[in-house]
């Protein structure tokens, strides 16, 4: 059986987890087995109907009042008790902040190795094989496991959702025991940046600016574009971040975030190797740069060699028109 | 406050990665190696904490003897001591294996630590798993991807980056913290630091010294294939006047890419 960890943030199931469940279901079908999902948290069972349509034949709900807030120590303890009981052959996590924090802690508890941030999965001779980008995507490693269960985290925005199926299925609740002294570290507060509803790693469209933006005030031009484009976020090159034009949470690249949106728009970004590493697996790339020789054009599907300050106002109008149609 | 920082020697981020298909590994030829950028941030944070609270900073690396250069850099930045755990095994990016080695090194050599500092991920392996694994093996709290760290006595508060927000996490020491860019601006080594580092001996420890048995250090991941990414084809570049260019781009997004 394949077990998929479903991440809940602020009472909602994250879409990236449903992508992972969809992929889990595809592999489960191939291996002639089932995909199960696990929800962790006090009263998390109410979210099961949102999970079933993406391929779970069973949803496990791990409850304990101490699980109301996320911590890797308590969540991994809860998961271990389930894993020991139902013995999955494969466990998938989303490679989100939570998944990356939690999966290694669980793997260490189980004494098994973990493959992080995979971009493809397959079965070979009844076993799992995953592909993970290394060197920020400058190479792709196909990895197999010599320990069991096989654990991997899967990159958001890469795996397609299944056509949603039925909303019903079997819910199995389990009250887990968590010794209070085993909770190591507590989230005291979540601080939210005002204009960052969507993270660049989760956005369908990333609108990025570089040194060519000339100053922090001009990032408002990009924010005006994200206001028009559905499910989009503002990204940046390291030069823009180092100049303190925008917070480093927005940095895309080898020492920033790796993004794989449907559309990546680069404005005034030259396309240094470290920047390309973070965005060149985007599904579609467009760029505006006044230098026709800029490296960004080597990866762009469509480029405008011109002044971004002259292009953006027209782009805004044209996008508005196209979207309202 | 005694702090251990874990550092890795990695290819420069500028490096063009070439694959040696015979060994399923990255060809090291012509590559410049550096201290992994996030680890550099972790070393800087350790030095600042020592400056504020006293104590010692020890840097530890698992790797071949080339990693001595990386450890020397940390000493030149101001670390008190460095230790190399010698490992000649080809890279499989098995984080658990390294985590087990590091956890054992801590238990054997630094029982009186109060903070274990890591980078949030090693550039190249891009695993982001070793800090959490070490935390679990040593039964410690963990705060990963930290952009702000405050320590007061045996309590700590850290800001951890998550999607579109920050989590403020409180924890008690000893603990594992992994550094994100933005936590601080790493210092440059000074000439004095470089000279002082030259004089320091870096002990080289073997798995045997740490009491690690062969089955504990056998990789549990296997790389079955290593490939270069598919090359992207350059698309159309136009130089029309702005209004027409914008029209063309949106037309492309609408009709060809079918995104908008
Ligand atoms: C260890 C390390 C890690 C790094 N990690 C990252 C990383 O994660 N992410 C990252 O992005 N970089 C990273 N870098 C930095 C990288 O090498 C480049 O320096 C950086 O990406 C350049 O940013 P840029 O393209 O915004 O600036 P520039 O290279 O200065 O390019 C600006 C571009 O704007 C164009 N331009 C100027 N004015 C206009 C205008 N009016 N209209 C249109 N175009 C205009 C110019 O033609 C130019 O191409 C890293 C570097 C190192 C050493
Ligand atoms: N070989 C190593 N020796 C010492 N520390 C390491 C080693 N590999 C990784 N680390 C530490 O673990 C962090 C996360 O690495 P990773 O999980 O490989 O992405 C790094 O930033 C280092 O602080």
Residues with CB under 6 A from ligand 1: A 210-212, 237-240, 251-256, 268-270, 272, 274-275, 278, 288-291, 294, 307-309; B 13, 37
Average pLDDT over residues B36-52: 98
Asked if residue B187 and residue B59 are part of one domain, the reply reads yes
Give the range among A94-103, B10-19, B73-82 with minimum mean pLDDT. B10-19
Average pLDDT over residues A16-42: 97
Q: Is the pLDDT at A325 greater than 90, yes or no?
A: no
CA of A309 to nearest chain B CA: how many angstroms apart? 9
Ligand 2 atom with the smallest distance to the CA of B125 is 18
- For chain A, list the domains and their CATH numbers: 2-182 (3.40.50.620), 205-324 (3.40.50.1220)
Query: Among residues A15, A88, A87, A95, which one has the least CA distance to residue A54?
Result: A15
DSSP 8-state secondary structure symbol assigned to residue B220: S
Shortest-distance Cα residue to atom 23 of ligand 2: B118
Asked if residue B179 and residue B133 are part of one domain, the reply reads yes
Q: What pLDDT digit, counting tens, does each position of B18-35 carry?
A: 999 988 899 989 999 999
Give the range among A66-70, A206-210, A214-218 with minimum mean pLDDT. A66-70
Q: Is the pLDDT at B70 greater than 90, yes or no?
A: yes
Query: Among residues B142, B244, B122, which one has the least CA distance to residue A108?
Result: B142
Record: contact B139-A184, CB cut-off 8 A: yes
pLDDT for res B82: 98
For chain A, the first-to-last Cα distance in angstroms comes to 46
A163, burial (CB in 10 Å: exposed 0-12, middle 13-18, buried 19+): exposed
B225 lies in some domain: no
CA separation for the pair B206, B88 (Å, rounded): 11
Asked if residue B116 and residue B153 are part of one domain, the reply reads yes
Structure tokens that stand for A114 in this block: 């973990």
User: Phi, psi at residue B242, to the nearest 5°?
Assistant: -50, -45
Whether the Cβ atoms of residue B181 and residue A248 lie closer than 8 Å to each other: yes
Q: Is the pLDDT at A196 greater than 80, yes or no?
A: no
CA separation for the pair B122, B8 (Å, rounded): 7
Query: Among residues B151, B112, B175, B1, which one has the least CA distance to residue A71?
Result: B175
A316, burial (CB in 10 Å: exposed 0-12, middle 13-18, buried 19+): middle
Q: Is the pLDDT at B167 greater than 60, yes or no?
A: yes
- Structural domain of residue B252, as residue ranges? 230-260
Asked if residue B249 and residue B166 are part of one domain, the reply reads no
Q: What pLDDT digit, counting tens, does each position of A11-20 carry?
A: 999 999 999 9
Asked if residue B237 and residue B198 are part of one domain, the reply reads no
B117 lies in some domain: yes
Average pLDDT over residues A82-110: 98
Asked if residue B258 and residue B154 are part of one domain, the reply reads no
Could you tell me which residue, A176 or A42, shows the higher pLDDT?
A176
pLDDT for res A187: 84
Average pLDDT over residues A134-151: 95
pLDDT for res B231: 85
Number of domains in chain B: 2
CA separation for the pair A261, A157 (Å, rounded): 7
The structure tokens 């279901």 sit at A25
Integer angstrom CA distances of residue A294 from A213, A269, A291: 15, 8, 5
Residues of chain B with C-beta less than 8 angstroms from the C-beta of A101: 132, 142, 144-145
pLDDT for res A195: 58
pLDDT for res A105: 98
CA separation for the pair A128, A49 (Å, rounded): 28
pLDDT for res A43: 82
CA dihedral sign of residues B29, B30, B31, B33: positive
Could you tell me which residue, A192 or A318, shows the higher pLDDT?
A318
B223 lies in some domain: no
Asked if residue B246 and residue B155 are part of one domain, the reply reads no
Distance A171 CA to ligand 2 centre (A): 39
Among B134, B181, B219, select the one facing A248 at the smallest CB separation. Answer: B181
Structure tokens that stand for B12 in this block: 């420069």
Q: Tell whether ligand 2 has an atom less than 6 A from the beta carbon of residue B43.
A: no
User: Phi, psi at residue A28, to the nearest 5°?
Assistant: -60, -45
CA dihedral sign of residues A260, A262, A266, A272: positive
Assign A126 a pLDDT band (cuts: 50, 70, 90).
very high
CA separation for the pair A7, A14 (Å, rounded): 6
Asked if residue B260 and residue B138 are part of one domain, the reply reads no
CA separation for the pair A178, A75 (Å, rounded): 9
Q: What pLDDT digit, counting tens, does each position of B200-254 carry?
A: 999 999 999 999 999 999 999 999 999 998 888 889 999 999 999 999 999 999 9
B222 lies in some domain: no
CA separation for the pair A66, A246 (Å, rounded): 37
Q: Is the pLDDT at A311 greater than 80, yes or no?
A: yes
Asked if residue B136 and residue B255 are part of one domain, the reply reads no
Average pLDDT over residues B146-174: 95
Q: Is the pLDDT at A194 greater than 80, yes or no?
A: no
Asked if residue B20 and residue B135 are part of one domain, the reply reads yes
Cβ-based neighbour number of residue B35 at 10 Å? 26
Record: contact B222-A192, CB cut-off 8 A: no
B21 lies in some domain: yes
Beta strands A302-305; B236-238: pairing state: parallel
CATH code, domain with B20? 3.40.50.620
Structure tokens that stand for B15 in this block: 């490096």
3-state secondary structure of B222: strand
Cβ-based neighbour number of residue A125 at 10 Å? 6
Could you tell me which residue, B22 or B36, shows the higher pLDDT?
B36
Average pLDDT over residues A148-176: 95
Asked if residue B244 and residue B197 are part of one domain, the reply reads no
Beta strands A8-9; A12-13: pairing state: antiparallel
Asked if residue B235 and residue B209 are part of one domain, the reply reads no
* pTM (2 d.p.): 0.94
Distance B102 CA to ligand 2 centre (A): 9
């Amino acid at each position: 059986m394949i077990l998929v960890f479903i991440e809940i943030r602020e009472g909602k199931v994250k879409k990236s987890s449903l992508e992972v469940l969809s992929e889990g279901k595809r592999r489960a079908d191939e291996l002639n087995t089932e995909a199960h999902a696990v929800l962790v948290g006090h009263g998390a069972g109410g979210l099961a109907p949102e999970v079933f349509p993406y391929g779970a034949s069973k949803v496990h709900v791990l409850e304990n009042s101490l699980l109301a807030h996320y911590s890797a120590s308590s969540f991994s303890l809860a998961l271990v008790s389930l894993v020991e009981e139902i013995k999955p052959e494969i466990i998938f996590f989303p490679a989100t902040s939570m998944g990356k924090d939690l999966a290694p802690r669980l793997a260490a508890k189980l004494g098994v190795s973990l493959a992080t941030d995979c971009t493809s999965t397959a079965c070979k001779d009844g076993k799992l094989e995953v592909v993970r980008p290394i060197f920020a995507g400058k190479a792709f490693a196909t990895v197999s496991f010599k320990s069991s269960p096989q654990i991997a985290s899967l990159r958001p925005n890469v795996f397609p959702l299944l056509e949603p199926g039925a909303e019903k299925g079997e819910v199995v609740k389990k009250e887990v025991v968590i010794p209070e002294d085993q909770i190591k570290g507590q989230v005291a507060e979540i601080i939210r940046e005002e204009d960052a509803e969507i993270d660049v790693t989760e956005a369908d469209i990333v609108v990025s600016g570089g040194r060519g933006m000339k100053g922090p005030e001009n990032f408002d031009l990009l924010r005006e574009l994200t206001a028009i484009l559905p499910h989009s976020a503002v990204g940046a090159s390291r030069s823009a971040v180092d100049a303190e034009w925008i917070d480093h949470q927005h940095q895309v690249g080898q020492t920033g975030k790796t993004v794989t949106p449907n559309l990546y728009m680069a404005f005034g970004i030259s396309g240094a190797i470290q920047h390309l590493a973070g965005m060149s697996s985007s599904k579609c790339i467009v760029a505006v740069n006044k230098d026709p020789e800029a490296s960004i054009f080597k990866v762009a599907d469509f480029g405008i060699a011109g002044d971004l300050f002259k292009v953006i106002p027209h782009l805004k109008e044209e996008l508005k028109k196209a979207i309202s149609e | 406050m005694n702090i251990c920082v874990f550092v890795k020697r990695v290819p420069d981020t500028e490096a063009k990665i070439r694959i040696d298909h015979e060994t399923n590994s990255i060809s090291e030829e012509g590559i410049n190696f550096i201290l992994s950028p996030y680890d550099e941030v972790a070393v800087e944070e350790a030095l600042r904490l020592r400056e504020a609270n006293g104590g010692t900073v020890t840097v530890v690396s698992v790797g071949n003897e080339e990693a001595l250069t990386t450890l020397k850099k940390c000493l030149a930045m101001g670390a008190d001591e460095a230790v190399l755990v010698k490992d000649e095994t080809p890279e499989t990016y098995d984080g658990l294996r390294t985590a087990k080695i590091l956890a054992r090194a801590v238990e054997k050599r630094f029982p009186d630590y109060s903070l274990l500092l890591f980078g949030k991920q090693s550039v190249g392996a891009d695993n982001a798993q070793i800090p959490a694994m070490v935390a679990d093996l040593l039964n410690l709290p963990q705060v990963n991807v930290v952009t702000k760290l405050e320590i007061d006595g045996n309590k700590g508060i850290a800001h951890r980056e998550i999607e579109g927000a920050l989590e403020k996490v409180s924890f008690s020491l000893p603990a594992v913290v992994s550094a994100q860019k933005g936590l601080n601006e790493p210092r440059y080594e000074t000439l004095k630091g470089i000279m002082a580092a030259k004089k320091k001996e870096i002990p080289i420890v073997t798995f045997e010294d740490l009491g690690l048995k062969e089955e504990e250090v056998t990789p549990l991941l296997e790389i079955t294939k290593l490939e270069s990414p598919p090359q992207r084809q350059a698309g159309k570049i136009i130089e029309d006047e702005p209004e027409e260019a914008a029209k063309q781009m949106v037309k492309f997004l609408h009709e060809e890419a079918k995104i908008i």
